[in-house]
C-alpha cells in the first residue's frame, strides 16, 4: 500500500472552473521552498510513522505546474534525501500530478518530465467535447479582489488543453483523464467520453460531483445518457481497448455490514501540507476546499502530526457513518463518498455523517451499468469471445475523488 503525500504548492490557477470544489482559490498562498523543505525533513526523519511500502508524492493546486521551479527543487531534494537516509521509499516512489494541461508543453515542464520520466504519473483534465469542456473549465477573470479571490470569465480553455494531449499521450500512453460531471454536464456525457476516446485517451475516469447540486430529474437524464453511452461503446467496439469508469462489474450489489465495512475514502491515510505548513488528512480538509466548515488541521511542520486527530479517520467504517437507507440499500457497492464533502455537509462538525447527495445518481448509474454488462456479455457470447474478453480487457481504475 502506498502513502499519498500531497503538497498544495499554490492555491492559484489559470482557470476558475465553475464546478471546482476549491472555493477559496487565491493568488497569495504559494508554498515557499523553506516550508517544503521543512515538511520533507519532518516526513523523512519520522520513518516509523510512515511504514507504507511506497509513497506517492502528489502535487496539487490550484494548478501545480504554475510552480514548476519549486516542484523541481522539491523532487530533487526528495530523491537526494531518500537516498542519503537509506529511506525505504527510495525503492518505491512516484511523483503525481493533476494538471489542467495548459502549461504542459512549456520548456520548464518538459525539462522536469524528461528528468523524472520513470517516476511520473501525470493526469491532464479534459472534460470532453469543446462545448462540454468550455461550459465549466473557463479562465479566471483578471483579479480585482484585494484577497486575490478568483472569478470565472467566459473564455473556455479547451483549445489550450487539447493541443497538449498528443504530446502527453506520446510521453504517457497509458495515461487516463479525469472527468467531473455536474448537473449541467449531463446531456454531454456520451459525446464527451467518445470524444476523449477519439483523442487517443484510453482510460476515462469519470464521476459525478459529491456536492448536493442535483436537480429533480437529473437521475433520469443521467441514466439516459449512460444508456446511450453503453450502446455507443458496445456497438462501436470500444470496450476492447478503452475503459470508462462509469461501467464496472463491481458496482450495484448489496454490501454486508461486517465483511464490507471498510471506509471508501482514504482521508487520514493520506497527508497534505499547505503553504503555511499546516497538515491535513487530505487536501479536501484545507480551508480553500470547504464551504461551510473550518479547516481540519491535524498538525504542522514544526510540531508534526497530532496522532489523536487521526484516530477518527483511521477507525472510520462504512456502517458507522452511513444512514440506515444506505445500510439497507440493495445496490450499495460502488456508491462512493468523499470524507471532506461529508464533513463540509454534515449537521455537526463530524466526519461521521455520510452525505447522500448522489444517492439517486448512483442508482441511475447502476441501472445503466447493469444494462451495459448484460448487453456486452450477450454480444460476446454470441461472438464466442466472452472468455477471451474477461481475460484480457482493460479494467477500469477504481473511482477516484
Q: Which is nearer to another protein, 147 or 308 (CB)?
A: 308
Nearest to 112 by CA among 79, 87, 160, 159: 79
Among 269, 317, 377, 393, binds another protein (CB under 8 A): 317
* Rounded least distance, CB 299 to another protein, Å: 13
Distances (CA, A) of 221 to 184, 235, 269, 280, 292: 11, 21, 36, 37, 29
Task: Mark residues 59-78: x for contact with another protein by CB under 8 A, - for none.
Answer: -----------------x--
Nearest to 267 by CA among 289, 244, 246, 291: 289
Q: Residue 308, interface with another protein (CB under 8 A)?
A: yes
DSSP category for residue 90: G
Q: Residue 346, interface with another protein (CB under 8 A)?
A: yes
**Where are the alpha helices (H) located in 1-157, listed in sequence order?**
33-45, 68-84, 107-116, 130-136
Candidates 5-13, 80-88, 130-138, 189-197 — which segment interacts with another protein by CB under 8 A? 80-88
Unique residue bearing C-alpha cell 465549466: 136
Q: Residue 315, interface with another protein (CB under 8 A)?
A: yes
* Rounded least distance, CB 294 to another protein, Å: 10
Q: Which is nearer to another protein, 118 or 216 (CB)?
A: 118
* Rounded least distance, CB 347 to another protein, Å: 4
| Strand order from edge to edge, sheet including 120-124 | 120-124, 93-99, 54-60, 2-8, 270-273, 278-280, 299-300, 304-305
* Rounded least distance, CB 150 to another protein, Å: 30
Candidates 84-92, 127-135, 185-193, 240-248 — which segment interacts with another protein by CB under 8 A? 84-92
Neighbours of 118 (CB within 10 A): 5
Q: Residue 85, interface with another protein (CB under 8 A)?
A: no
d(CA 66, CA 363): 39
Q: Which is nearer to another protein, 207 or 272 (CB)?
A: 272
Q: Which is nearer to another protein, 81 or 375 (CB)?
A: 81
d(CA 124, CA 99): 5
Q: Residue 2, interface with another protein (CB under 8 A)?
A: no
Q: Are 13 and 6 in contact (CB under 8 A)?
A: no
Q: How many residues bind another protein (CB under 8 A)?
A: 34
Beta-carbon contacts of 16 under 8 Å, excluding residues fewer than 6 positions away, are 25, 138, 139, 140, 141, 150, 151, 152, 153
* Rounded least distance, CB 192 to another protein, Å: 29
Q: Residue 378, interface with another protein (CB under 8 A)?
A: no
Q: Residue 296, interface with another protein (CB under 8 A)?
A: yes
Among 23, 69, 80, 151, binds another protein (CB under 8 A): 80
Candidates 37-45, 179-187, 316-324, 366-374 — which segment interacts with another protein by CB under 8 A? 316-324
User: Strand 54-60 vs strand 93-99: parallel, antiparallel, or unpaired?
Assistant: parallel
How remote is the C-alpha of 86 from its chain's centroid? Answer: 31
Task: Mark residues 88-117: x for contact with another protein by CB under 8 A, - for none.
Answer: --xxxx---------------------xxx
d(CA 114, CA 183): 39
Candidates 14-22, 86-94, 131-139, 172-180 — which segment interacts with another protein by CB under 8 A? 86-94
Q: Which three cell numbers stand for residue 126?
A: 479534459
Among 37, 119, 221, 379, binds another protein (CB under 8 A): 119
Give the binding site for another protein (CB under 8 A).
76, 79-80, 82-84, 90-93, 115-119, 296, 307-309, 311-312, 314-317, 320, 346-353
Amino acid at each position: 500500500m502506498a502513502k499519498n503525500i500531497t503538497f498544495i504548492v499554490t492555491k492559484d490557477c489559470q482557470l476558475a472552473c465553475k464546478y471546482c470544489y476549491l472555493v477559496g482559490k487565491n493568488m497569495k498562498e504559494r508554498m515557499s521552498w523553506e516550508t517544503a523543505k521543512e515538511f520533507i525533513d519532518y516526513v523523512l526523519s519520522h520513518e516509523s510513522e510512515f511504514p507504507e511500502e511506497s509513497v506517492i508524492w502528489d502535487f496539487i493546486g490550484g494548478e501545480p505546474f504554475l510552480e514548476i521551479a519549486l516542484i523541481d527543487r522539491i523532487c530533487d531534494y526528495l530523491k537526494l534525501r531518500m537516498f542519503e537516509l537509506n529511506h525505504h521509499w527510495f525503492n518505491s516512489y512516484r511523483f503525481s500530478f493533476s494538471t489542467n494541461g495548459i502549461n504542459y508543453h512549456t520548456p520548464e515542464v518538459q525539462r522536469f518530465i524528461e528528468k523524472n520520466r520513470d517516476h511520473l504519473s501525470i493526469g491532464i483534465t479534459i472534460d470532453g467535447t469543446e462545448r462540454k469542456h468550455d461550459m465549466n473549465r473557463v479562465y479566471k477573470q483578471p483579479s480585482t479582489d484585494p484577497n486575490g479571490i478568483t472569478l470565472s470569465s467566459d473564455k473556455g480553455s479547451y483549445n489550450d488543453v487539447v493541443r497538449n494531449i498528443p504530446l502527453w499521450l506520446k510521453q504517457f500512453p497509458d495515461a487516463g483523464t479525469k472527468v467531473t460531471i455536474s448537473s449541467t454536464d449531463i446531456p454531454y456525457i456520451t459525446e464527451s467520453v467518445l470524444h476523449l476516446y477519439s483523442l487517443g485517451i484510453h482510460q476515462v475516469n469519470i464521476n459525478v460531483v459529491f456536492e448536493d447540486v442535483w436537480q429533480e430529474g437529473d437521475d433520469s437524464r443521467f441514466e439516459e445518457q449512460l444508456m446511450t453511452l453503453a450502446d455507443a461503446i458496445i456497438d462501436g467496439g470500444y470496450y476492447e481497448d478503452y475503459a470508462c469508469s462509469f461501467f464496472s462489474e463491481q458496482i450495484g450489489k448489496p454490501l454486508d455490514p461486517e465483511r464490507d465495512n471498510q471506509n471508501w475514502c482514504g482521508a487520514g491515510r493520506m497527508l497534505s501540507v499547505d503553504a503555511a505548513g499546516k497538515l491535513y488528512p487530505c487536501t479536501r480538509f484545507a480551508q480553500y476546499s470547504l464551504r461551510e466548515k473550518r479547516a481540519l488541521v491535524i498538525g504542522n511542520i514544526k510540531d508534526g502530526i497530532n496522532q489523536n486527530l487521526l484516530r477518527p479517520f483511521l477507525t472510520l467504517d462504512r456502517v458507522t457513518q452511513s444512514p440506515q437507507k444506505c445500510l439497507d440499500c440493495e445496490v450499495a457497492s460502488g456508491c462512493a463518498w468523499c470524507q471532506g464533502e461529508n464533513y463540509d455537509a454534515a449537521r455537526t462538525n463530524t466526519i461521521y455523517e455520510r452525505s447522500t447527495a448522489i444517492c439517486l445518481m448512483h442508482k441511475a448509474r447502476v441501472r445503466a451499468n447493469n444494462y451495459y454488462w448484460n448487453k456486452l456479455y450477450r454480444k460476446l457470447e454470441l461472438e464466442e469471445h466472452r472468455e477471451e474478453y474477461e481475460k484480457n480487457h482493460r479494467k477500469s481504475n477504481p473511482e477516484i475523488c
